Amino acid sequence: MFLREIEAPVSDLKGAGPSVCKRLARLGVYTGADLLLLAPRDYEDRSAPRLLSEFGQGPVNCRVAVVAHDWFGFGRMRTLKVWVEDERGTKAALVCFNRPFLERSLPVGSSLKLYGRFDYRYSELQSSAFDAEPLDGSADGAPDGVRPVYPLTEGLGQSTMRKLVAGALARWGSVDDEVPPSVRERRGLLRKAEALRALHAPSTPAETLEARRALAYEELFYLQVMIARRAASRRSDERPRDPPPPGLAIALEERLPFELTADQKAAIADIVADMSGPYPMARLLQGDVGSGKTLVAFFAALYAIASGGQAAMMAPTELLARQHADTAARLLEPLGVRLAFLSGNVADAARRPLLAALARGEVDLVVGTHALFSGDVEYKDLRLVVVDEQQRFGVLQRLALGAKGRKPDTLMMTATPIPRTLALTAFGDLSVSTIRTMPKGRKPIITHLAKDGNEAKVYEFVRRELAAGRRAYFVYPLVDRSDRLALKDAEAMYERLSRDVYPEFRGGLIHARLPEDRKRQTMADFAAGELSFIVATSVVEVGVDVPEATCMVVEHAERFGLAALHQLRGRVGRSDLQSYCFLVWSDGGAEDGARLSEDGKRRVMAMKATTDGFEIAEEDLRIRGPGEITGTTQAGSLRLAFADPVRDAELLEAARDDAAALLGADPGLVGQEGGIVRAVLERASPFSERTAAVG
């Protein structure tokens, strides 16, 4: 039996009554398989003995005798203290908070096996986090040596967890291998059953690493098989395609007031080559904020339209989708392109005729939010799907796109450079075009840091820019005061900046709780120059493009993530005007932990040090750690329990090679060789189910 086929509920185990099961559910554990896959968060190495006097070198691990009981505190706070003595005569106190029952189980005169961290406190050696077992056999059945430390939840203790897992191992642990034997041998991996045993009942610390390696490899291999299969199925979708006629694209290029950059041209050439090829395109276009990706997408759309098809462009926010629609109206409508805009906010009366027009092929390019791919939207001949700021969408949403139209070409755009290793996981079958150079004439943005309290100077600087006809953004972490923290909020600052600071200029307010049409009007007024400044939350973070904006002021900058700060800064520096970014940070004063965290400081410093998006992404990776990134949107909410595509980069590449070799060699044979591959062939993968559950 394969591990994932174990559907028996944990309640089948001895000791797992209804209340224990409820607590296990909080940890996401329902079945025997879930329990066996519960990764210990740490291990205690109990193979090294350590006396009480050696407490400074690590956890104490020795035999002791109970010499006395003692109580302190009153009433419900009354607490037991158990005095123990080791073989050298060192005495120490076990402070039993909330464990009065230890009076019985650790009686005076008994001998104990003791494990725990000790400290000098109130001039006595004591510990309140200790494990003590009567010497006649270990209490939870786990052998001495290395013990797993599990993630816990309220009411579920370590020793109960250990007992439950030991029970699960005994009952279900002898599972079949899923990685094909040939691969397992080549990579020197433990068998699955052995890996589970080593994970939960290791005899040495080294064994736990072997266990993790085998389980991580299996996940990565699984993932790579899925990706390889997706790529293979795309390649099997042969279609006759002629090179798209260039007429429309030439017309657009002639109308542009500037030259395309060399990288933009190269990206467009890549796209045209894909579109003329026998398989649907799956391309990722990466380029730093402001590098001109939108235009590349419009060229792609023109090629699709020129060959008689339709194109759809999806943006993560309504604001951004509106902006793209406006730009398209300006650039493409004069070429005769028929445009439409669609979001969840388009009222039924307008929506119905729009859908009909799309289905009849009377719309060439539709721009919108994810509403573009809701169930009732039909296309006559959808040839191209563009996803802007694709890192904002989950894997599932991206996959849903492929279902519309007959094998449309897809172009994903991102300003967040994807580390190579992640590209191999979530985006394994994409080809990549990169825009490295900025349009001609751009000046590097000048970034200033200012401490909270000095913002008046910043406001004065911005005043000079506004007076010269330039525009500015002010960004705050919160919408209004109802947010509990003692931070500046957008609404109050909008009042203050309009009334007290810049009475001579007009400003606007934008945050997520305002109605879409208000937001749109405000953005349009700002773009047209009727408003000089915008006060906002991070809703302006992605994509917004107003070339005359030269100042970005972010207050409480320490509150924002590095990627968000980089995106925010990217809202300026979009023309040949010199632009500025002011990061106002605070390091405390406020209650509620509004202190500048170490990480916050590092982020702000990193922003000062570089404007290069790739460097920022790498620093982000260092600050946040790879684990966090894999868990989030970058990997598209793939949940991996053991593998970390960044840390396990080598393993990932091995898995990729193995999966490709196996599927390439003989697709028929693969089906029989290994359980993973068989499972992939037979049913939906567990990844998509988990992703769906996460939403």
Binding site for Mg ion (CB under 5 A): 543
CB nearer to ligand ADP: pick between 537 and 567: 567
Residues 6+ apart with CB under 8 A from 361: 310, 380, 381
Give the whole-angstrom CA distance, residue 670 versus residue 680.
11
How far apart (Å, rounded) are the C-alpha atoms in residues 450 and 472?
Answer: 17
CB of 567 to ligand ADP, least distance (A): 9
Shortest distance (Å) from residue 356 CB to ligand ADP: 31
Q: Are 614 and 417 in contact (CB under 8 A)?
A: yes
Site string for ligand ADP, 574-593 (x = CB under 6 A): x-------------------
295 binds, among Mg ion, ligand ADP, none (CB under 5 to 8 A by kind): ligand ADP
Q: Choose between 176 and 333: whose C-beta lies nearer to ligand ADP.
A: 333
Site string for ligand ADP, 204-243 (x = CB under 6 A): ----------------------------------------
260 binds, among ligand ADP, Mg ion, none (CB under 5 to 8 A by kind): ligand ADP
Q: Does 415 bind ligand ADP (CB under 6 A)?
A: yes
Q: Token pair of 136, please?
A: 């006649």
Give residue for tokens 């090294």: 48
Q: How far is the CB of 632 from ligand ADP (least distance, A)?
A: 21
1, with CB counted inside 10 A (0-12, 13-18, 19+), is exposed
> Which of residues 286, 291, 630, 691 is near ligand ADP by CB under 6 A?
291
Give min distance, CB of 326 to ligand ADP, in A: 12
| Cα 691 to Cα 695: distance, rounded to the nearest angstrom | 6
Q: Which does 289 bind (CB under 5 to 8 A by kind): ligand ADP, Mg ion, none?
A: ligand ADP
**The one among 32, 148, 394, 439 contacting ligand ADP by CB under 6 A:** 439
Cβ-proximal residues to 670 (8 Å cutoff; 6+ apart), any chain: 180, 662, 663, 677
CB of 323 to ligand ADP, least distance (A): 8
52 touches ligand ADP (CB under 6 A) = no
The alpha carbon dihedral of 139, 145, 148, 154 has a sign of positive
Comparing CB distances to Mg ion, the nearer of 127 and 291 is 291
613 sits near ligand ADP (criterion: CB under 6 A): no
- The phi, psi pair for 370, rounded to 5°, reads -60, -10
Residue type (1 letter), 370:
H
Nearer to Mg ion, 202 or 543 (CB): 543
- CB atoms near residue 376 (< 10 Å): 9
Rg, the chain, Cα only = 31
Number of residues that bind ligand ADP (CB under 6 A): 19
The residue with its CB nearest to Mg ion is: 543
Q: Please, are residues 270 and 343 in contact by the beta-carbon 8 Å criterion? A: no
Determine the 3-state secondary structure of 584 from DSSP: strand
CA angle 477, 479, 482 (to 5 degrees): 110
| CB closer to ligand ADP out of 106 and 297 | 297
Sheet containing 124-127: give its strands across: 119-121, 124-127, 91-96, 79-86, 60-72, 111-116, 130-134
Nearer of residues 289 and 490 to Mg ion, judged by Cβ:
289
Least Å distance, CB 176 to ligand ADP, is 49
Give the list of residues 6+ apart from residue 24 with CB closer than 8 angstroms, or none. 10, 16, 30, 35, 156, 164
Contact pattern from residue 363 through residue 382 relative to ligand ADP, giving x for each residue in contact according to CB under 6 A and a dash for the rest = --------------------
In degrees and rounded to multiples of 5, residue 423 shows phi and psi of -60, -30
Rounded least distance, CB 409 to ligand ADP, Å: 19
| Given 293, 383, 471, 556, the residue binding ligand ADP (CB under 6 A) | 293
According to the binding rule CB under 6 A, does residue 414 interact with ligand ADP?
no
CB of 575 to ligand ADP, least distance (A): 7
**Contact between residue 365 and residue 311 where contact means Cβ atoms under 8 Å apart:** yes
CA dihedral 365, 366, 367, 373 (to 10 degrees): -130
In whole angstroms, how close is the CB of 244 to Mg ion at the nearest point?
23
* Whether 379 contacts 359, CB under 8 Å: yes
190 or 260: CB nearest ligand ADP: 260
Residue 416 interacting with ligand ADP (CB under 6 A): no
Indicate the helix (H) or strand (E) that contains 314: strand 310-314
d(CA 659, CA 677): 9
Please, are residues 79 and 101 in contact by the beta-carbon 8 Å criterion? no
Location of structure tokens 């009732």: 376
Between 264 and 538, whose beta carbon lies closer to ligand ADP?
264
The stretch near ligand ADP (CB under 6 A) out of 178-186, 232-240, 283-291, 612-620 is 283-291
Q: For ligand ADP, what does the binding mask look like between residues 533 and 572, x meaning CB under 6 A?
A: ----------x-x-x-------------------------
With CB under 6 A as the contact rule, the residue among 32, 202, 280, 287 that binds ligand ADP is 287
Cβ 654 vs Cβ 155: under 8 Å? no
Comparison of 212 and 283: residue with beta carbon closer to ligand ADP:
283
Out of 289, 321, 367, 651, name the contact with ligand ADP by CB under 6 A. Answer: 289
Binding residues (CB under 6 A) for ligand ADP: these are 258-261, 264, 287, 289-295, 415, 439, 543, 545, 547, 574
